[in-house]
Amino acid sequence: MSAGRELELLSVVAPVYQEEATIDRFCAVVAEALADIPYELVLVDDGSTDETWRRLERLAAQDDRIRLIRLSRNFGHQAALTAGLDHASGNAVVMLDSDLQDPPSLIPTLLERWRAGADVVYGVRRNRSGESRFKLGTARLFYRLFHSLASVELESNSGDFRLLDRTALDALLAMRERSRFLRGMSIWVGFTQTSVPYDRDPRYAGETKFTLGRMLRFSFDAVASFSYRPLQLATALGFLISSITFLAIPVVIVLKLTGNYLYGFSTVEITILLLGGIQLITIGVIGEYVGRIFDEVKGRPLYLVRSRHNLASTTGLAERTGTEVAGED
């Protein structure tokens, strides 16, 4: 890739869900951080039910660099982010959260790395202030698990905050899979990757939308879309238990010969229950994959757009995404 790139337009993409208390401040901070950079700010309202959309409309009316996409309902963070990336037209794209946890002031540093030739520049969180110990602990556990199971090298504590060159972005957008783990996918595409450390700030206002259930689902999506290892573990477990069973056969024969046969009753009971449990878990793991295959086969769109603002042309997008629905502009 050539060094010393020329920036024509930077697209800054952020998903927004119930951020009425944060969004004005977010746009102001971005404008301030990118004062002399040609940019567009692509904001995706992920089906907010509070004042968020009205605020966004007001902001977009004042500043036509702010482009808006409103989804038909809440599709989740990764789908909303994808919608924004689909609509970005810059030759470099930054994605970040709209709650000011990812500091927009870091964007010029990311751009510098891009100018020097990097295609994917991702932020690695040096410290995460304002997050509960529980969240930090589960995050650490997740990254460790992902590392041991999955085939992509995901750095611990790298979030979705990153800059992508147009080439890498187009590669990423060509992947329309439903179980989306964008930070893993953007590493999977390859090209030249570098990281930049940063301090993650506490949320500016409002609350996190990621409940424990949602985090778990997201984690399994991440693992399942990058690894068959859970299925292989199920097979390994099957072999292990079968071997133990084979060893038990002579034991049973000996017990029978010595007339102590009934003594084994509790062992049998425990074995049946244990095996039943293990089988159910294994079927569950397989089911997780089957469910994901089902989702892929249905081929539903990743998101539906209700309306757009300040987006001049969306031609080409429909063919690429297959997600076009009627929407006023």
- Assign 3-state DSSP to the chain and report helix, strand, coil percentages, each to 5: 50, 15, 35
Residue 98 contact among ligand UDP, Mg ion, none, beta carbon within 5 to 8 Å by kind: ligand UDP
Task: Pick between residue 142 and residue 165 the one whose CB is nearest to ligand UDP.
Answer: 142
Q: Which has the closest alpha carbon to 204: 1, 23, 17?
A: 23
Task: Pick between residue 15 and residue 184 the one whose CB is nearest to ligand UDP.
Answer: 15
DSSP letters, 187-252, are HHT-SSEEEEEEEEPPPSSS-----HHHHHHHHHHHHHHH--HHHHHHHHHHHHHHHHHHHHHHHH
Site residues for ligand UDP, window 44-73 (CB under 6 A)? 46
Task: Pick between residue 5 and residue 128 the one whose CB is nearest to Mg ion.
Answer: 128
With CB under 6 A as the contact rule, the residue among 209, 229, 292, 306 that binds ligand UDP is 209
Choose the stretch contacting ligand UDP; rule: CB under 6 A; options: 76-84, 163-171, 187-195, 262-270. 76-84
Alpha carbons within 13 angstroms on the beta-carbon side of residue 283 total 6
Q: Is the dihedral of CA 25, 101, 177, 281 positive or negative?
A: negative
Strand-pairing partners, residue 45, are 16, 70
Choose the stretch contacting Mg ion; rule: CB under 5 A; options: 91-99, 114-122, 130-138, 223-231. 91-99
Three-class SS state of 261: helix
Q: Which has the closest alpha carbon to 7: 116, 140, 103?
A: 116
Q: How many residues touch ligand UDP (CB under 6 A)?
A: 17
Choose the stretch contacting ligand UDP; rule: CB under 6 A; options: 144-152, 207-215, 243-251, 280-288. 207-215
Structure tokens at 282: 């294994």
Closest distance of CB 206 from Mg ion, Å: 9
161 Cβ contact list (under 8 Å, min separation 6): 94, 95, 96, 97, 102, 106, 122, 123, 198
With CB under 5 A as the contact rule, the residue among 101, 158, 186, 225 that binds Mg ion is 101
Task: Pick between residue 101 and residue 227 the one whose CB is nearest to Mg ion.
Answer: 101
Site residues for ligand UDP, window 90-119 (CB under 6 A)? 97-99, 101
Closest distance of CB 96 from Mg ion, Å: 10
Phi, psi of 14 (to 5 degrees): -140, 135
Structure tokens at 194: 């570098």
Strand-pairing partners, residue 42, are 13, 67
Residue 45 contact among ligand UDP, Mg ion, none, beta carbon within 5 to 8 Å by kind: none
Residue 263 touching ligand UDP (CB under 6 A): no
Closest distance of CB 312 from ligand UDP, Å: 24
Q: Which residues bind ligand UDP (CB under 6 A)?
A: 15-17, 19, 46, 74, 76-77, 80, 97-99, 101, 203, 208-210
Q: Which residues bind Mg ion (CB under 5 A)?
A: 97, 99, 101
